Structure 1
Amino acid sequence: MIRHRLSLAQMKSGEKTKTIYSWIKEGNYKEAIAALNDELCLNRNSRAALSLLAYCYYTIQDFDQSQQCYEQLIEIYPNERHYYLNYAKCLYQSGAHEKALKIIVKYSEKFHIDNDDRKKSIDNEYDQFAQNELIKIQAAIKYTNDDDNINAKLLIDQIPDGNVDKETNLGCMLFKEKRYDEAIEKFRNALQMENLNLSNSRSNFHRIGSGQMNTMERKPETNKNDNAISGGSSNATISSMVNQKPDLLYNLAVCYYHLRQYSDAMKYIGEIIEQGIREHPELSVGMNTEGLEVRSVGNTEVLHESVLVESFNLKAAIEYQLKNFEAAKEALTDMPPRSEEELDAVTLHNMALISMDQNPADGFEKLQFLIGQETFQPETFANLLLLYCRYEYFELAADLMAENASFTYRYLSPYLYEFLDALITQQTSPEDAYQKFDEIATRHTDSLRKLSKQIQEAKNQIAKNDDANIVTKQNEILKKLKHSFDEVVELYVPVLMAQAKIYWDIECYAQVEKVFRKSAEFCNELDLWKLNVAHVLFMQENKFKEATGFYEQLVKRNYDNILDVSAIVLANLCVSYIMTGQNEDAEELMRKIEKEEEQLIYSDPDRKIFHLCIVNLVIGTLYCSKGNYEFGISRVIKSLDPYPKKLGTDTWFYAKRCFLAMLENLSKQVIIIKDSVLQECLTFLSMCEQYGQNVKAIVEAPLELETLHPGKNTVTYEARLLKALLLEIIEN
């Protein structure tokens, strides 16, 4: 940097200009900014230096610095129109919307722009361009801040027809009204116009979604999208880019996402990513996932124009919705590398959600940081509350809602507010909470019955009519009705589960079954519903046959990839088989699991797989609960061999429960265990002591201030305690 400054000082004026423009052309904005600041030290009112400096700051998205330059330029050159326009754009991008509107009014008054009679004032090409840009800024502010679609549309209608931005922004407004099919039509029209090069202007609120995931639901918000800068003279202006195709492809992808047509959405995302890799190899797409060390690409204009960050976020959101969590995580690591302080709010939010299972403390930290910022994605507030409730930090959720009352009205839907209120109430008054959940559930079931009736009527109309036009129209209506039905079911299921959990927590399983039976007409095709019905039948201990029927549906669907099924489902199905005398079916299922595990271990020897282990542990627990400790404990011991591969926090939890129950009954002299089995127990505990040094005995809650002693929170420590107790019982 010093070398550059010294060489510039020694150069002639023409050479300095050439060098600075070369740096700008090559994207070396830091060098250009340093050199231009040096020039300003010599002449603080240099028009060329200030203009180029504003351009460079804008390009690296430092809008605050850019607007300071334009403030100075306006003060020195108050009659230069493009400085006002660029200043308004900087204010918009930095979030100073009120100030941006004031500058637009000042521009209109100073240069006699009258929105009611535009033709009188438009006397040259630049005036027309500037007027369109100012209209788009005003419309974008109405669209994003005021949620005023009507006035935003009135402003956009002032832009001449045949403009890509007009078509795109109309599509954005249709999207906000959830008219996704109509929005898709607008975006396709804009894409066609773009391909024909009918316009090369660019929208202020071009991207309609942010690719943000949500715990219960996802509502993409309109992103602020800065205008590109065209350099080349000392009077640099913030104008428009020719290629906006990635923006339009992204908008189409978001619409298809909301229509649940994920394959179509992924098709457009794939096109954006392929184009980004082809045109911008310097952005290092996918390098992080491959484990290569790469430096940050920064938040450059090139990155922004490529729409790669937004596309990878949307891809992650789709994979997250499809429960492909590894693929969602990979989508986030595939995006161009940036340091954590350079990450945008959407990416940071999504990384927090993805990391919640592995590192919830880090996930909470990220979400709490985002909530503390002046602006954040609306989903952030709702997700933080939902995650507090998921991890049973209900007091923190209540405090967050109480301390941010304005956020609850702004960022929570009435349904979500009522749902969270009932969840929090449940901690102090389960009866009142159940009543609140029941009121919400009643509204949903009423809506579902109406939609079911309308769906049936639409099907009848299709069956009766031979007119192709009527059938097409009815099919469209049927499609929308089914989409609405699915949306209401998504809202109903969490309420249903919350109601069931109230009875589950007090072990009133018959009541839980009744709750699920009431919802059968709407939810009986959902895997989540089948799973929970199976669990509650299993827990009643006299309905194993019925539980088997539900578990089998879940297992047979994934029989060829049986390790994709939850281990506890496989374990409960085996127990159900045993309890209903279907031992051969249980053995066949266990052989299938064992075979799949052997194949997986062969391809990935270091991977830990617990499915067969947990099945054996649950079967062992069953026999222990029936008093057959010798067989049950032997099964538990067998399940954890080999110890380095099978010993984990969850498996140890099941094992130690059986040992504690056995020790309790031995101490009370209720049971007698053979010496050979007791010796086998001592050997087992010694092995757990040996291999359990780095295995936590308990997974601590993520936000606990008082943590367990690291030396005591290990399988080794607990195995020693159990071994000591067993030796004491044997000696006495």
Structure 2
Amino acid sequence: MANNGRTLIDGQVTATIYGLIKNHMYSEAAEILQEKLQLYPKSRAALSLLAFCYYHMQDFENAAECYEQLQVSYPDVDEYKLYYAQTLYKSGALQEATKSSFMLDKPSIAPKILKLQAGIKYVEGDFPAAKTLVEQCPSDDIDTQVNMACLLFKEGQYQEALAIFVKAMEVSGKKPDLMYNTSLCHYHMQHDQISNNCVSEIIEQAIKEHPELSIGLKTEGVDVRSVGNTLVLHETHTVEAFNLRAALLWKAGDATQARKCLTDIPPRSVEELDPISLHNDAIMNMPTKATMGFEKLQFLLQQPICPPETFGNLLLLYCKYEYYDLAADVLAENAHLTFKLLSPFLYKFLETLILQQTSVEEAYSRFDDMATELAEELRRYTKKVQQTRGTDEDAARRAIKSYDTAMQQYVPVLMHQAKIYWDQSNYPALEKIFRKSVDKCTDVEAWKLNVAHTLFMQDNKYKEAINFYEPIVKKHYDELLQVSAIVLANLCVSYIMTSHNEEAEELMRRIEKEEEQIAYEDPDSKLYHLCIVNLVIGTLYCAKGNYEFGISRVMKSLEPYHRKLGTDTWFYAKRCFLSLMESMSKQMVFLQDSVILEIVQFFQHIENHGHSIIVLVEQPLEQDPMHEGKNTVAYEARYLKSLFLALADL
């Protein structure tokens, strides 16, 4: 009876499970199998089907446990040993997977064993060893060719890798994994449009063939359940495609659409997110969710397998937010990753940034040495391009690529070296640094912008500042709100200081017109550009001692308050009032009663509208945050009003 019952149950389980599997309902199938295995723990069919379901659910740890039981119970079945090693590899247990693979020596599965061992070495970053193993695989196998292309990609030979991927698609068709690999090659070859076209094709194919993935519904605000990390999701490569599209948009400067791409990915819970999506979500949302971003990057760094960019990005972001001690701690705690994941340049750059906190002079000297070395490289690559162009186009392309890489390193070094003088307000010395780099950086937007700021801060060089600000503004003359407000403000001040008032007024009219158009389309939108321009102009008059006109302009600039009052605009405005009160306390300035009444009313308006506006955007990892009640514009306006009334009575 017992044997007959077990046989009958096995048959029933198999019939039910195959129906669920056919409809990709692996989770439901797994639940039934778990129940049956509680009654019949030695059922080979149930255990093998459960392992199969776990594998398709991408739950490789549980799949490995099932296959481990099967290989112990059925030691003569080599497939179970192979599947066990494969699931260990998929789960990230690379050492255990390597050990298990060496226990397999059957000639019939030798090619599969070699592929597995090559995959392990690839994930470990041991590309020479992986290449040696791939070369032992059958050369006519399409998987061998694709694996070799992946290794060529890792070596930076994108053109050669691309050729193999394209040839593979000609043989096996436009499979999502091959389309994604070609897109990635184009991305690294700076063929952004072609890369985006490939990505679009992957996404469109997934939407057409797999509506159950709910692609894009989360972005549209539809509440949908997680689709899980199924094998179907993996095979469609939609996660990778959306991440690559987000990278393309981020690279093009469209951060909003880049973030939207990440929400278009088939919905999954936070626990189910893959490392790449988690990393990109952290990086792209740092401006608004920095604390959460740091937590995600720190979590990834502690995992056995994480995106190699995680280490460098976490260190750079620590330095950006001035957490230099934390950056130093991470470097010290992960010394084994330093030479594996950081280029020599990036390591030296980060080390110098951290050193700057204790020894400014030595840091400046190191930045200077790095800049000199990179400048020499730029000259060498420029000469190489000139020598090879027209005679050896491949060599010319390689030289141009090397030049671009050196330039990407040179500009940050130069800017951080310059920042040392900026922090010291030593603008003449800062100008000399920029003059030394003029032959290399004339086309670099950041360089031109910083030169303009340096000239502007010297008071007597407004005309020269205009020459740098104007091209930046005119480049976006039809969309002025795309330009930083402080650039527009500084240009207007420069016009005024050089008696070009008409140009300043025309620029302000164009800004006002654009803001009115946006306000018409979205009445609740916050618009700060014209406000900041007027604030800077008002600040200029206050600095020159004309407080009545300057303060009047500052107050008018914040009307209407619901649209103009914000953290940044209040910061600029209160500086003028603090300067005024300082002069009043020294009895250097005397105001008319009408002006005093106007200022008191202004503070009252600010208090009424500033309850929900913070004064200080605190650092994301701040251990001693400000009291919430004091970190509001309303609190500061009320406090400044009391101080002003006390001074006015004097």
**What is the CA RMSD across the aligned residues, in angstroms?**
1.7
- 1:730 paired residue number: 648
User: Residues 206-229 of structure 1: CA distance to partner in whole angstroms, max 9, x if unpaired?
Assistant: xxxxxxxxxxxxxxxxxxxxxxxx
- 2:428 paired residue number: 510
Residue identity matched to 1:66: A
What is the SS of the residue equivalent to 1:707? coil
Aligned length: 646
1:339 aligns with one of 259, 262, 269: 269
1:107 aligns with one of 104, 107, 114: 104
User: Residues 696-719 of structure 1: CA distance to partner in whole angstroms, max 9, x if unpaired?
Assistant: 111111111111111111111111
Task: State whether residues 276 and 306 of structure 1, in contact with CA within 8 Å, keep that contact through their aligned partners in structure 2.
Answer: yes
What is the SS of the residue equivalent to 2:628? coil
2:57 aligns with one of 44, 60, 66: 60
Between the aligned residues of both structures, percent identity stands at 53
User: Residues 68-93 of structure 1: CA distance to partner in whole angstroms, max 9, x if unpaired?
Assistant: 22122222222212212211211211
After TM superposition, the structure 1 stretch with the greater mean CA deviation from structure 2, 399-408 or 625-634, is 399-408
Tell me which of the two structures has the higher relative contact order, counting C-alpha pairs closer than 8 angstroms and 6 or more residues apart. Answer: 1
Task: State whether residues 276 and 308 of structure 1, in contact with CA within 8 Å, keep that contact through their aligned partners in structure 2.
Answer: yes
Q: TM-score, normalised by structure 2?
A: 0.97
The aligned runs of 1:6-21 (5 Å cut-off) are 14-21=11-18
2:246 aligns with one of 296, 316, 320: 316
- 2:85 paired residue number: 88
- 1:144 paired residue number: 123
- 1:527 paired residue number: 445
Task: State whether residues 614 and 632 of structure 2, in contact with CA within 8 Å, keep that contact through their aligned partners in structure 1.
Answer: yes
User: Residues 106-147 of structure 1: CA distance to partner in whole angstroms, max 9, x if unpaired?
Assistant: 221xx3x3xxxxxxxxxxxxx2xx332211111122222152
CA separation in 1, counterparts of 2:11 and 2:71?
26
CA separation in 2, counterparts of 1:192 and 1:382?
38
Residue identity matched to 1:399: D
Change beyond 3 A, Cα 1:654–1:155: same
User: Residues 232-280 of structure 1: CA distance to partner in whole angstroms, max 9, x if unpaired?
Assistant: xxxxxxxxxxxx7111111111111112221111111111111111111
Task: State whether residues 117 and 133 of structure 2, in contact with CA within 8 Å, keep that contact through their aligned partners in structure 1.
Answer: yes
The answer as to 2:483 corresponding to 1:565 is yes
CA separation in 2, counterparts of 1:9 and 1:44?
10
Q: CA deviation at 1:418?
A: 0.6
The answer as to 2:281 corresponding to 1:351 is yes
- 2:404 paired residue number: 486
Q: CA deviation at 1:671?
A: 1.5
Q: CA deviation at 1:577?
A: 0.5
CA separation in 2, counterparts of 1:689 and 1:488?
51
- 2:95 paired residue number: 98
Change beyond 3 A, Cα 1:247–1:101: same
CA separation in 1, counterparts of 2:67 and 2:347?
44
The answer as to 2:77 corresponding to 1:159 is no
Q: CA deviation at 1:512?
A: 1.1
- 2:27 paired residue number: 30
Residue identity matched to 1:437: F
- 2:224 paired residue number: 294
What is the SS of the residue equivalent to 1:560? coil
Task: State whether residues 637 and 684 of structure 1, in contact with CA within 8 Å, keep that contact through their aligned partners in structure 2.
Answer: yes
CA separation in 2, counterparts of 1:29 and 1:729?
75
CA separation in 2, counterparts of 1:668 and 1:633?
18
CA separation in 1, counterparts of 2:8 and 2:482?
68
- 2:604 paired residue number: 686
Q: CA deviation at 1:330?
A: 0.7
Change beyond 3 A, Cα 1:52–1:634: same
Task: State whether residues 296 and 338 of structure 1, in contact with CA within 8 Å, keep that contact through their aligned partners in structure 2.
Answer: yes
Q: CA deviation at 1:11?
A: 8.2
The answer as to 2:619 corresponding to 1:707 is no
What is the SS of the residue equivalent to 1:316? helix
Residue identity matched to 1:81: D
- 2:524 paired residue number: 606
Task: State whether residues 259 and 483 of structure 1, in contact with CA within 8 Å, keep that contact through their aligned partners in structure 2.
Answer: no
1:76 aligns with one of 52, 70, 73: 73
2:340 aligns with one of 410, 427, 438: 410
Change beyond 3 A, Cα 1:725–1:9: farther
Task: State whether residues 89 and 137 of structure 1, in contact with CA within 8 Å, keep that contact through their aligned partners in structure 2.
Answer: yes
Task: State whether residues 695 and 715 of structure 1, in contact with CA within 8 Å, keep that contact through their aligned partners in structure 2.
Answer: yes
CA separation in 1, counterparts of 2:422 and 2:546?
28
Q: CA deviation at 1:9?
A: 11
- 2:167 paired residue number: 189
Q: TM-score, normalised by structure 1?
A: 0.86
The answer as to 2:565 corresponding to 1:647 is yes
- 2:319 paired residue number: 389
CA separation in 1, counterparts of 2:375 and 2:518?
44
Structure 2 unpaired stretches of 5+: none
Task: State whether residues 91 and 97 of structure 1, in contact with CA within 8 Å, keep that contact through their aligned partners in structure 2.
Answer: yes
After TM superposition, the structure 1 stretch with the greater mean CA deviation from structure 2, 134-143 or 542-551, is 134-143
CA separation in 2, counterparts of 1:56 and 1:666?
78
Residue identity matched to 2:320: R
Task: State whether residues 167 and 189 of structure 1, in contact with CA within 8 Å, keep that contact through their aligned partners in structure 2.
Answer: no
